[in-house]
Structure 1
Amino acid sequence: MKPFDDDDEDSRYSLILNDTNNYVQIDILIDDIDYSLKRFIGMQDVFVNNGITTETYPISRQSAPFIFSDWLLGKLKIPVFELFLGATHWYFNFNDLFRLLNYDQNTEPKKIYKSPVAEYFIADSIIIRKSIFEILLGMSSTDYFDKLEKLKLATKKKRCGKSSISELRIYT
């Protein structure tokens, strides 16, 4: 949020930023287990307390391979998988799910996928929305993406093998 940016001292909410209790907390219930989720303003971690232990999860995949979104989707029994669209790829996360759930009420009811807000906005593309929808219905997209990942790894190994063979031929 712009007012929380450090570069604009005059527009910051100093009462919130200087408060020692500057956090957002929500209590949720998943499968009859109470969880308390807490995130401090300006921090990049979510603290999850189940009444017995407290665990910390980052919100960004740049800092760790397992993030808060992965934990939340795991508790909801929704698989995390890698999405591919052209040269772009990312891991399915709660934001992707929320975009599908947050349906634009002004769009005609015949459409299940809303149009992207901006042209070429990859994360809101119909292909991605369709994949997420199919996964939530238990259809085959997860199998497809699993196989696509295996193909990607096999292709990489093949290229490395060909490169090694070419190098051996040069030196013999």
Structure 2
Amino acid sequence: MATITLKGNEIHTSGNLPKIGDKAPDFELVKTDLSSSKLSDYKGSNVVLNIFPSIDTGICAASVREFNKKASGLDNTKVLCISRDLPFALDRFCGAEGLENVINHSDFRDGKFGKDYGLEITDGPLQGLHSRAVIVVDDSGTVVHAEQVPEIAQEPNYEAAIASLS
């Protein structure tokens, strides 16, 4: 279990993120067209997992915008934005913002991704949602970067995530 904060108040997650050097666990999430998507679908590409509580908050929206901007310059890399939001909300946000370089995924059905990756919030007002985290998986499926953002209201370290790809 990881201890993080929400506006300075301590909350907890269901576990710990995968470690650098580990094989990333496969998952099944829902894309905005309601089709299923697995990590294994992106085999052979680097994958940035931008994970957040809800697209309808300022910091979460900012992270999607920033990774969308950074993704446009990355070779052989897919940026997956993942939350428990409904796929329709993720699609609405990216459509309204004109964001086309990220791929939205929802864990709304059973939250299994959040549990398997140790980032489900287990207490406090955001209980059941995902914590803010960034995990980078290389083209062989190995975790090369894992950041559990310590404060929900803080943006992730974009530069460190992108640097892990070189």
TM-score using structure 1 length: 0.20
Higher helix share: 1
TM-score using structure 2 length: 0.21
* Greater RCO, 1 or 2 (C-alpha within 8 Å, sep 6+): 2
In our comparison, the structure showing a higher alpha carbon Rg is 1
